């Protein structure tokens, strides 16, 4: 059974303390966005088949949010991770790993320029 937007909103407020502003804005346009967001989470982070524990899943989500630059997600996921007991060292390593991955991506993207220059 698919929850109503009101049920999803109540669950999000209970879990996060408040509805993220982006979802609040989306809700004003179409409350079904809340249900869609919840279903996406249920299909990924909260899936019972997820091989990762909740903290690791949230650390992966934070890594992705840092990579794509979603400030609101970064803030919400960091708050949730603090409740889950993330340490400063773990947070620092998330940033170091994301930074390394971004740098590696730049080198990979530059390959065409390097190869074209040398040909």
Q: Do 71 and 35 reside in the same domain of the chain?
A: no
Q: Do 6 and 23 reside in the same domain of the chain?
A: yes
Say what the pLDDT of residue 38 is: 86
CATH of the domain at 79: 1.20.1290.10
Q: Do 33 and 83 reside in the same domain of the chain?
A: no
Q: Do 88 and 107 reside in the same domain of the chain?
A: yes
Q: Do 38 and 69 reside in the same domain of the chain?
A: no
Instruction: Please compute the mean of the pLDDT values over residues 83-107 and round it to a whole number.
Output: 96
CA–CA distance, 90 with 84 (Å, rounded to integer) = 12
CA–CA distance, 39 with 46 (Å, rounded to integer) = 9
Say what the pLDDT of residue 79 is: 93
Range of the domain at 31: 1-43
Whether the per-residue pLDDT at 87 is higher than 90: the answer is: yes
Average pLDDT, the chain: 92
Whether the per-residue pLDDT at 84 is higher than 90: the answer is: yes
Q: Do 73 and 116 reside in the same domain of the chain?
A: yes
Whether the per-residue pLDDT at 28 is higher than 90: the answer is: yes
Say what the pLDDT of residue 46 is: 85
Q: Do 14 and 56 reside in the same domain of the chain?
A: no
């Amino acid at each position: 059974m698919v929850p109503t937007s009101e049920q999803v909103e109540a669950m999000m407020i209970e879990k996060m303390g408040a509805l993220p502003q982006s979802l609040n804005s989306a809700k004003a346009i179409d409350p079904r966005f809340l249900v869609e967001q919840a279903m996406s989470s249920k299909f990924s982070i909260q899936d019972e088949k997820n091989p990762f524990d909740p903290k690791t899943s949230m650390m992966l989500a934070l890594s992705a949010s840092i990579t794509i630059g979603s400030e609101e997600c970064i803030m919400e996921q960091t708050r949730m991770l603090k409740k889950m007991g993330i340490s400063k060292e773990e947070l620092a390593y998330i940033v170091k790993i994301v930074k390394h991955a971004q740098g590696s991506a730049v080198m990979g993207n530059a390959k065409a320029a390097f190869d074209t220059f040398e040909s």
